[in-house]
Structure 1
């Protein structure tokens, strides 16, 4: 890896996926994971409902055992959702009752958060729903370097597919961080801010018309896209603590 790819001349950094996180997270105080459709969105909905959420890699068989060890419910794939059986779909979490401990596997945002658990940084989950709350929390609780990581999606061969919704979600967080420290942002961070600024006046329509939004709608999950587009409707700050995300909106970043 070329050392310049680490963006170490800048306090506020931005990159994509696990490879980008490996480049820019070392030396940071906080890593913000953004997966708008839909890990991060589902995470905020679950925490609003009072659950603690365990991220996990996309391995359904292993996730079931991981959940059993923690007396938790494992979220299934969208196609397996049923009444009382939560899935990765945020709409299913809103319909579920009494889930207090949830293992939430996904191949992108959740797997990334799981991988960062031992990286020595505070790991925070962000999406469009809580972008401003997360950025304000980060600004209030750390003066150290911050990495915002867009999780992205995957092509059929497993390669990273940069997904515009995660660029917008990251840009929404970075816009507030940049306002507090305009000289600290990398050019990559400022590019994400510009992308969000261009989309924000019609973010709901843009999200629904994006490739990922159309994909979910075609599968019957247009409602999930609508929830993901709820810009700044919650103040929860999901912080990874002892392997689970909890709401740190009234707390500091100590792990």
Structure 2
């Protein structure tokens, strides 16, 4: 029996978190973690840096980085003036070729999906339109393909999912652009995400700064990260996970 949560019968779907990514399968999967993993990926790819997602920031991440001849991003508070972290500001000024980028949300989902057979895209507000245009072309070429947008969300202190509105908007921007291209049908969940983005599109980046995630980063001293995340459709590159590495699609 098909799971009632799989959004079966719809070509374009939407869900949340690693659990949603496991439940709602797609040939093309857009992972969205606006503050800040997928924004960081798009900034890196724009700068010609290859990104290797990794689940944990621990000794195993250090070993992984060494094995792949890559720099390892540290925690935001550990980066100092010249280190590299999940902060897009530090990535924008980095001079490295490869970067291991751990994060408990977006990076974890991408690594989870890396061996699933799906094509994984890193999508943020910065490249939502470009990613949607590329996906729309793929859908037109192959009527059997399906696409899912997965909003990473955040975590409460007890480990439970905190739906992050910035990820809803990022996924919604991608889904709304797909709908405008004629792709579909969209599942009810995907339609709701697209509608959420359309409702605020004219008020970004102000609302991104004022949502809980934006306020949190600002309080921690990273308002520039929020500003970079709010560079709506500033990137024309589509970031695809290829062999465990995010690179621009050719």
Give the TM-score range, shorter chain.
Answer: over 0.9
Q: Distance in 2 between matches of 1:241 and 1:182?
A: 24
Provide the aligned length of Structure 1 versus Structure 2.
246
Distance in 1, matches of 2:5 and 2:181, equals 24
Rate the CA distance shift 1:183–1:39 in 2: closer, same or farther, 3 A: closer
How far off its partner does 1:60 sit? 2.4
- Corresponding residue for 2:36? 38
Q: Distance in 1 between matches of 2:206 and 2:177?
A: 22
Q: Residue 16 of structure 1 contacts residue 152 of structure 1 at CA under 8 Å; is this kept in 2?
A: yes
Residue 182 of structure 1 deviates from its aligned partner by: 5.5
In structure 2, the partner of 1:140 is 137
Equivalent in the alignment of 1:244: 245
Report the secondary structure of 1:134's partner residue.
Answer: helix
Residue matched to 2:119: 122
Residue 229 (structure 2) pairs with residue 232 (structure 1) = no
The CA deviation at 1:9 is: 1.0
Q: TM-score, normalised by structure 2?
A: 0.95
Structural mapping, 1:104-253, within 5 Å: 104-142=101-139, 143=142, 144-181=145-182, 183-248=184-249, 251=250
Aligned to 1:4: 4
**C-alpha distance in 1, partners of 2:165/2:239?**
22
The answer to whether the 8 A contact 2:52-2:101 is kept is yes
The Cα of 1:158 is off from its aligned counterpart by: 1.1
1:237–1:247 CA contact under 8 A, matched in 2: yes
Q: CA deviation at 1:183?
A: 4.5
Which whole-Å CA distance do the structure 1 matches of 2:98 and 2:104 have between them? 20
Q: Pick one of 60, 63, 68 that aligns with 1:62.
A: 60
Shift of 1:177: 1.0
**Other-structure match for 1:29:** 27
TM-score for both structures, normalised by structure 1? 0.94
Work out the CA distance in 2 between the residues paired with 1:40 and 1:56: 13
What's the secondary structure of 1:10's corresponding residue?
coil
The answer on 1:102 being equivalent to 2:99 is: yes
Contact 1:60 1:76 in 2 (8 A): no
- Aligned-partner Cα distance in 2 for 1:68–1:184: 44
Aligned equivalents of 1:43, 1:211: Cα separation in 2: 22
The 2-side partners of 1:2 and 1:165 are apart by: 31
Q: Which runs of 5+ in 2 are unaligned?
A: none
> Whole-Å Cα distance in 2 between the matches of residues 88 and 213 of structure 1?
15
1:82 deviation in Å? 2.3
CA–CA distance in 2 between the matches of 1:60 and 1:88? 14
Which consecutive unaligned segments of at least 5 residues does structure 1 have? none
Contact 2:73 2:102 (C-alpha < 8 Å) held by counterparts = yes
Retained in 1: the 8 A contact 2:136–2:183? no
